[in-house]
Amino acid sequence: MRMMLKVTIPVDKGNTAIKDGSLVKKIQSILADLKPEAVYFTEFDGKRTGMIFFDMKDTSEIPAVAEPWFLAFDANVEIKAVMNSDDLARSQPGMEKAVKNFG
C-alpha cells in the first residue's frame, strides 16, 4: 500500500545535527533502508519537514519506518495511506456504491 510519511524535525535537534555534520548522513541512511518512491523536503510550521512516499506491505512495518526518525531526531512522525491518480481511477466503483447506498 502506498503510504506518505511526514517527518518533522524539531528545530533544536535539526540545528545540532547540522552543526555536527550528521543531518544529511542520518537522513540518507534512513532513506536507504526505506527505499522510498519519492522524497520531498520543505519547511512546515517553521520546522524542517520531509514528505516521503513509500510502499508498505504490512502494518507490522510501522516501527521500522518510524523508530529511526524518533531515535535520530526526536522527530514527529505521521503515516497516512495515500493514492495516486491511477489508484483514484480504480476507486470509482467504490464511490459509486457509496452514492447508491448513502447518497
User: CATH number, domain at 19?
Assistant: 3.30.70.260
* CB distance 1 to 81 below 8 Å: yes
pLDDT band at 12 (very low <50, low <70, confident <90, very high): very high
| Domains: count for the chain | 1
pLDDT at 87: 93
pLDDT band at 97 (very low <50, low <70, confident <90, very high): very high
**What residue numbers bound the domain in which 40 lies?**
2-102
Diameter of the chain measured on Cα atoms: 59
Cell output for 64: 521500522
* CB distance 55 to 9 below 8 Å: no
Helix axes 23-34, 62-73, angle to 10 degrees: 180
Question: Rounded mean pLDDT of the chain?
Answer: 97
Burial of 40 (0-12, 13-18, 19+ CB in 10 A): exposed
